[in-house]
Amino acid sequence: MGLLLAKILFLLVLAAACGALFTFWWFRRHYEDVTLEYARSRDEWASWRRGFEARLAARPEVDLQPLREQLAALDEAVRSIDVPIPERVDLASLHSRLDDIERRIGDIHLPAPSDLGPTEQRLTAIEHALFPVQTRLDGLESALRAVDLGPVLERLGTLQSRLENPPAPKAAVREGSRNLLTHPGCGKPDDLTQIKGVPKVLERKLHRVGVFYFWQIAEWSPEDVRYVNSKLAAYKGRIERDEWVSQANELAATPSAAPRPTEH
């Protein structure tokens, strides 16, 4: 056993010695000294840099005096420009006309029918009547740029907003019903899909029938329920099954629900 271990140890030492000799031979055959190549590259770079700096120093100096003289002449010409100051414009007459227009618009009483055709025609006539005023104001704007027209423009914006967004006519109760409305004229319609059993498609059907708010459903009597059931043929009986009236009573008391008008 000891002889076998001695043989193994001898073979390992022999293998290590052979490996060391092979490594020494390999490095001696493939080793290259790059020190001289690095020194040569560094000397070439220093030589090229010195030559570039010498060529750069040999360039003639640029004379900027003509450019400075031209800039000075341009600055003097700009300073000599005399900008005329516009005379003070009397806007009293313009303010008077604006007050008169505002008073006339305030006196306009819009009708509240279901058909808004006459209202739209009247608004169109007002817009045509104000077109010359707008044209004249556009002409005055270029001549009055030096004058503070902020208050005037603010008042014109207010008048234009009132003309473009007239107050909505008050909703009327449909004929043959107690509280079904012609349109949602009592504020933004409530989200009727919050009522259990009312999907989006049924909400649109209720809008066509005249139901827009929780307070309407909360006020329904048995006769009203029968009347609305007759209008909802595909959903007949759902009002009683899903207890819409009691649900609407609770939803109408929430802060997000539209309040019931004093009269409708």
Helix (H, G, I), strand (E, B) or coil at 173: strand
pLDDT digits (tens, 9 = 90+) for 188-245: 899 999 999 899 999 999 999 999 999 999 999 999 999 998 888 888 888 999 999 9
The verdict on 163 and 208 lying in the same domain is no
Please provide residue 181's backbone torsions phi and psi, each rounded to the nearest 5 degrees: -100, 155
Would residue 62 be called left, alpha or beta, if left means φ above 0 and alpha means ψ between -120 and 50 degrees? beta
The verdict on 264 and 201 lying in the same domain is yes
| Residue percentage of the chain with pLDDT more than 70 | 84
Question: Quick one: which of 183, 224, 232, 184 has its CA closest to 206?
Answer: 232
Whether 52 is in a domain gets the answer no
The Cα 3–Cα 12 span in angstroms is: 14
Domain edge (last residue) among 167, 197, 230: 167
Whether 35 is in a domain gets the answer no
Q: What is the residue range of 181's domain?
A: 169-264
The verdict on 227 and 194 lying in the same domain is yes
Q: Rounded mean pLDDT of the chain? A: 82
The verdict on 175 and 243 lying in the same domain is yes
Whether 193 is in a domain gets the answer yes
The verdict on 154 and 179 lying in the same domain is no
pLDDT digits (tens, 9 = 90+) for 78-110: 888 876 666 676 788 888 888 889 888 888 876
CB neighbour class for 11 (10 Å; exposed up to 12, middle 13-18, buried from 19): exposed
Please provide residue 30's backbone torsions phi and psi, each rounded to the nearest 5 degrees: -110, 0
Categorize the per-residue pLDDT at 45 as very low, low, confident or very high, splitting at 50, 70 and 90: very high
Q: What single DSSP character describes residue 182? A: S
Q: Is the pLDDT of residue 250 over 90?
A: yes
Domain edge (last residue) among 167, 196, 231: 167
Q: Is the pLDDT of residue 115 over 60?
A: yes
CB neighbour class for 49 (10 Å; exposed up to 12, middle 13-18, buried from 19): exposed
Helix axes 92-106, 150-164, angle to 10 degrees: 20
Whether 15 is in a domain gets the answer no
Whether 225 is in a domain gets the answer yes
Stated pTM of the model: 0.38
The verdict on 177 and 232 lying in the same domain is yes
Q: Which residue has the higher pLDDT, 178 or 166?
A: 178
What pLDDT does 264 receive? Answer: 44
The secondary structure of 2-63 as a DSSP string is HHHHHHHHHHHHHHHHHHHHHHHHHHHHH----HHHHHHHHHHHHHHHHHHHHHHHTSPPP-
Least confident of 23-37, 163-177, 178-192, 213-227: 163-177
Total tally of structural domains belonging to the chain? 2
